Amino acid sequence: MHFAIRYVTRYRYDGDVVDNINALRIRPATSGRQQVDHFTVRLSPEVRQHRHEDYFGTDVIEFEVTRSHRELIIDASAHVRTEPQPDPPSGTWEGLAVPGYREAGGEYLMQTDTAAGHPLLAELEAELADARTPLEAVLRTSEVIPDRLEYRKGATYVDSTLGDVLDVRAGVCQDFVHLGLNLLRSRGIAARYVSGYLYTRAEPLGEAGDRAASVEVDTHAWIEALLPNAGGEPRWVSIDPTNRGLVGECHVKIGHGRHYADVPPIKGVYRGSAESALEASVTMTRIEPVG
């Protein structure tokens, strides 16, 4: 599928601020099944952009607004083509123990947050206990989380812990992913946090053209789990615990990490005593393939 993505973030400050320094991880990744045809970021106030690729392979843009200002606008546009993911491999539990798998899984096998002994966590673990293959455990993970937890904005914060999420039995996609990562890693399945965009309208391109195909979304998060592959290399398979099941062509990946803190879309600091108000919008538009 082809998408045009527009991601606009506007910070308004109730006083003058200076030295506003930010790191953006918003550029769609280039991979075997995702191609970026176009990507630009416009900043207001206009300042120089510094790009680099971080440890996890995510494209990072950093900038600083040194002079005094009361508003900051980050306006990003991208054109991306995606393809569906191939059928997931269905290796056995034994496949998790081989050195090649442990090596490929690396740090994604290690927990970043724990809530040992939490009754809800124990319940969820019990639901996965009799999965016959790692693939079944992965797919069930994407089901049990939305079954047992309520999707509710405002129930959690950007830095809520796993314990917080389990206590309120609710959260947003970021929290669902953190919970899923914990469940999978505790079964020895390597799993990583994926940040990206999700196109949420399933119907085909309408008669009215581009406008009808535009949707307002937010940045999204899902999971990549490393599945053993009988007779082959283990492969990363994407699931979405907010929307159940395997990820399809509507998911546009930005990057991955061990947890949210490795791939935050926007992270920044500024100097000044002013408070800020944030408005952010992500618009995704399906566009006709050209040629």
Partner 1 sequence: MTSDPLLDGYRIPDGSCDELLETDGRPREHVRALLAALRRLGPEALTDAGRRRDVIFMQQGITFEVSGAGGERRDRPFPLDLVPRVLTAGEWTVIKRGLAQRIRALNAFVDDVYHGREIVRAGIVPWSLIVSRPSFARPVHGIRAPGGVYTHVSGCDLVRAGDGSWRVLEDNVRTPSGISYVLENRLAMTRLMPELFAGQRVRPVENYPSLLLEALQAVAPSPDSDPTVVLWTPGPLNGAYFEHAFLARAMGIELVEASDLVVRDSVCYMRTTGGLRRVHTIYRRLDDDFIDPLEFRPDSVLGVPGLVRAYRAGTVAIANAIGTGVADDKAIYHYVPEMVRFYLSEEPILENVPTYLLSDETVRRWILGRLHEVVVKPTSESGGKGVFIGPQASAEERADEARLIEAHPELYIAQELVHLSTAPTETGDGRLAPRHVDLRPFAVFGEQIRIVPGGLTRVALREGSMIVNSSQGGGSKDTWVLADGDLLEGLPPGLAAREPPRLPDVRYGGWHGQAQQQQQQAAI
Residues of this chain that bind partner 1 (CB under 8 A) = 9, 11, 17-19, 21-23, 48, 50, 52-56, 62, 64, 66, 102-103, 106-107, 109-110, 146, 151, 153, 156-158, 172-174, 195, 198, 200-202, 217-221, 242-243, 250, 260-262, 264-273, 275-276, 278, 280
**Which phi and psi (to 5°) does residue 61 adopt?**
-115, 125
Sign of CA dihedral 105, 106, 108, 112: positive
**Rounded Cα distance, 25 and 32, in Å:** 20
Largest CA distance in the chain: 62
97 or 230, CB closer to partner 1? 97
131 or 151, CB closer to partner 1? 151
**Rounded Cα distance, 82 and 286, in Å:** 11
Instruction: Report in angstroms how near the CB of residue 149 gets to partner 1 at its nearest.
Output: 12
37 or 245, CB closer to partner 1? 245
55 or 87, CB closer to partner 1? 55
191 CB burial (10 A radius; 0-12, 13-18, 19+): buried
39 or 151, CB closer to partner 1? 151
Instruction: Report in angstroms how near the CB of residue 291 gets to partner 1 at its nearest.
Output: 29
The single-letter code of the amino acid at 137 is A
**Which phi and psi (to 5°) does residue 201 adopt?**
-110, 120
Instruction: Report in angstroms how near the CB of residue 64 gets to partner 1 at its nearest.
Output: 6
